[in-house]
Amino acid sequence: MIKHILVSSLLLVAVFAQAQESTFSPYSIHGIGISKFRGSVGNVSIGGLTFVSNPVEPSVLNAATYAELTKTNFAVGGSYAVGQLEDTSGKSDVSNVSFDYLSIAIPANKFGFGFGIVPFTASGYRINQDFPERTISQTGTGNVNRVFLGAGAKVYKGLALGAEFQYNFGRIEGEITQINNNINIANTRRIDQSDIAGFSYAFSAIYDYNVSEKHVFRTSLKYEFSSNITSTNNQQTADVIIDVNGLVRPVSELTTRNREVPNRSFKLPSRFTVGASFSKKSYWLVGAEIYTGSNNSYQDRFQNRNTNETTINYIDPFGVKIGGYYQPNYQSFKSYFERIIYRAGARYEKTGLQFNNEDINEFGISFGLGLPLKQGLSTINLGFEGGKRGTTSGGAVEESFVNFSIGLNLSDKWFRKRKFN
């Protein structure tokens, strides 16, 4: 069993490390894309709360939760999203499929550790602008992935501390094509390519206070440090034509030119998160969380993309999340429905991006189910989230989205002492 899981994990990591278009947001043109990962299916279904966990299913968003782990946990998940983009010129329908995360967490007496790979940011957009004298089309794809290694330990009664080391890497490509209505002016195409790399770190703490034998009040703190990231940039330009099939291709190799452009090094924003929850062990939980960060030193990969038509600013992000779950009777043998975990949550976030002085905010409502497998402590998690991002004011775009997600959590004791040779 373990061998099959590990082999599958390596194959999934190999696929995951390749660039994928896992977002359709026009706002992903900026910086190194938009934030992509908000936790496992279980986390997302309760509004994205980062600190909710149990002894067989830690939170990959909070390393301190590894401290309470009692079984080895393997988790994998993906999602399908559909949406609609709206601006002053009309509406368009979009969709994408993405592989979202893979993680393994292992208990080790009074501490535990976990590792895996998740998407950090994503870029995927198609923007067309029609002007009297020309048409400009912009497309982009790519991801910045995050490999992480975290550990959590119990340091005092009810208190656990965690630390996580992260390596961020990936490639983002953008293409800008300009088709001129004047036949005497050459059509042009520019391809921007950036290889992203950098380390980052996070520390967390969780304190559980037993109000009674069955009721627990939990508080959580997490700090993600501002860290350096490097964008190694390449740029290629060419004069292009539209062939009989409607495809854009270079006129000839002679018109294709590689341009030297500066690499960029800038800081990822820091973030401070605080949360609290009240629960009845193995039955229900309600919780809330807020975060804030510093985004002032964030930059685009290439020189400022601002034009005469638009102005982009990076401001401090802020978010509020609420959520919880209910499991009627996890020990029920008569009714399977009583062993299902029912989840719900909501979130409101200021993304940290400002377009023509309009804040780009995001709102989402989520629901989910944790379906126990017939044997053991493993579950299949299903999630649904609907929401909006952005606004049509100031020439911006409003995105409406619906995400469907599925995740598998396998929990068991992998490492056993043999009683017989």
pLDDT tens for 361-375 read: 999 999 999 999 876
Residues near 36 by beta carbon (within 8 Å), at least 6 away in sequence:
22, 23, 98, 100, 119, 120, 121, 122, 143
pLDDT of residue 21: 59
Which 8-state DSSP code applies to residue 348?
E
pLDDT of residue 308: 44
pLDDT of residue 414: 59
Best CA proximity match to 172, nearest among 355, 31, 312: 31
Q: State pLDDT tens for residues 82-129.
A: 999 998 888 888 888 888 999 999 999 889 999 999 999 999 998 888
Query: Which parts of 226-333 are beta strand (E)?
Result: 227-242, 248-250, 257-259, 264-268, 270-280, 284-294, 312-314, 318-326
pLDDT of residue 186: 81
Distance CA 151, CA 137 (A): 46
Three-class secondary structure of residue 68 per DSSP: helix
- Reported as a pLDDT band with limits 50, 70 and 90, residue 307 is very low
- Start-to-end CA distance of the chain, whole Å, equals 20
All domains in the chain, ordered by first residue: 2-328+345-353 (2.40.160.60)
* 419 has pLDDT over 60: no
- Reported as a pLDDT band with limits 50, 70 and 90, residue 249 is confident
Residues above pLDDT 90, as percent of the chain? 56
If you compute the radius of gyration of the chain from its CA atoms, what whole number of angstroms results? 23
pLDDT of residue 309: 52
For 391, list phi and psi in degrees, rounded to 5: -155, 160
- Reported as a pLDDT band with limits 50, 70 and 90, residue 9 is low
Of 153 and 24, the one with more pLDDT: 153
Half-sphere exposure of 378 (CA within 13 A, CB side): 17
Mean pLDDT for the stretch of residues 24-50 = 91
Three-class secondary structure of residue 343 per DSSP: strand
pLDDT of residue 87: 85
Residues near 228 by beta carbon (within 8 Å), at least 6 away in sequence:
198, 199, 265, 266, 267, 268
